[in-house]
Homo-oligomer: A and B are copies of this chain.
Amino acid sequence: MPATLAELVARFGGELLGDGHTRVNQVAPLDRALPDQIGFVAQQKYLSQLAHTRAGALILPPEARDASSLPRILTSNPYLYFARVSAWLNPVPTPPAGVHPAASVADGAQIAVDACIGAGAVIGAGAQVGARSVIGANCVLGEGVKIGEDCLLHANVTVYHGCEIGDRAILHAGCVIGADGFGFAPDDGRWEKIPQIGRVLIGHDVEIGANTTIDRGALEDTVIEEGVKLDNQIQIAHNVVIGAHTAIAACTGIAGSARIGRHCTIGGAAMIFGHIEIADGTRISTNTLITKSLPKAGTYTSALPFSEHETWQKNAVHMRNLDKLVKRVKALERKIGELENKS
């Protein structure tokens, strides 16, 4: 779905410089762009890449107005503009509406007439699928599940009974919404299961990565607020609340009843303890373990720097003996003090 620069500016705004009839078929990185493709520069420091690009057009920040003579669009947020142009040039193909003959839809499920239920999908009794939503091949929706409008569930997604998902959600393959939280009461050396009777409630405009798992609440609900973006293989335990527009990178785990604020960004493979609260706007680094509440926004880190293995071995032994080292330093300070007093 090619477009001219004039069409793009009419749709997405920005200032056009050069020939508005220039036609682009695709977005591309500057160093690989072809003459029928449009590239972008988001930051001043990448402007040098313009010298050798073969791109036919550019998206640039206003201050780079004269950095190229190619047909170009000036905009205050080139990266965002680029995202929108890419979405326009690469529309998500919509499968034809209707229920595939190899899907299994229980009596009483309500499927919008323009929704699409893929081959092998299984929809439970009382489930609802909203207008224009796509339920991918071999997905399973439990009883009473509600899926909003314009959602896209890729293949092999599982949503347990009673869970609800807002509009425009994207769920990637293999993610599991609403499995039982991990709750057991000890009984004389054995574990007795605590029924998990809450649900998972997911807001509008949420994206959930492949093989990510979000457990249902024990008594109350697990809540993912609107605009949250979750990467792959994230684990969210029961009763967690994730505030609106928070983004979490892959392999992160969040323990039960943690409350994550709005507009947080959490790096990959972070681990967050249960029953703590994280302030709005907090940033947590990759591989960081958060063990207590963070009432104040900021950036928090606990990663251990790597070394060559032999160096690491020499240092690691001391990590286990820091307390002794500190005591030795204290003893030295005392002795120095005594010597200074004497001299």
Contacts and interface: CB of A to CB of B under 8 A. Distances in A.
Interface stretch (A16-24, A43-51, A66-74, A224-232): A224-232
Interface in A235-291: 235, 237, 245, 247, 249-251, 253, 255, 263, 268-269, 271, 273, 283, 285-291
Interface string A175-217: 0100110101111011111110100000001010111010100
Contacts of A83: 184-185, 192-195
A174 B263 CA distance: 30
B229 A251 contact: no
Contacts of A184: 83, 229, 247
Interface stretch (A107-115, A127-135, A329-337): A329-337
Contacts of A100: 104
Contact of A339 (B86, B90, B339): B339
A94 interface: no
Contacts of A79: 185
Interface string A288-329: 111100000011111111111101111111111111011011
Given A269-B271, A273-B286, A298 B305 contact: no
Contacts of A192: 80, 83-84
A77 interface: yes
A183 to B, nearest CB: 8
B232 A213 contact: yes
Nearest to A219: B29
A32 interface: yes
Contact of A232 (B197, B235, B304, B317): B235
Contact of A315 (B27, B142, B319): B319
Contact of A263 (B182, B189, B286, B321): B189
Given A27-B219, A32-B219, 19 more contacts: A32-B220, A83-B192, A102-B104, A172-B176, A213-B233, A233-B235, A235-B251, A250-B255, A251-B271, A298-B309, A302-B304, A303-B304, A303-B312, A311-B320, A314-B322, A328-B333, A329-B329, A335-B336, A339-B339
Interface of A: 26-29, 32, 77, 79-80, 82-84, 86-87, 90, 92-93, 100, 102, 104, 118-120, 122, 136-138, 140, 142-143, 154-156, 158, 160, 170, 172-174, 176, 179-180, 182, 184-187, 189-195, 197, 205, 207, 209-211, 213, 215, 219-220, 227, 229, 231-233, 235, 237, 245, 247, 249-251, 253, 255, 263, 268-269, 271, 273, 283, 285-291, 298-309, 311-323, 325-326, 328-329, 332-333, 335-336, 339-340, 342-343
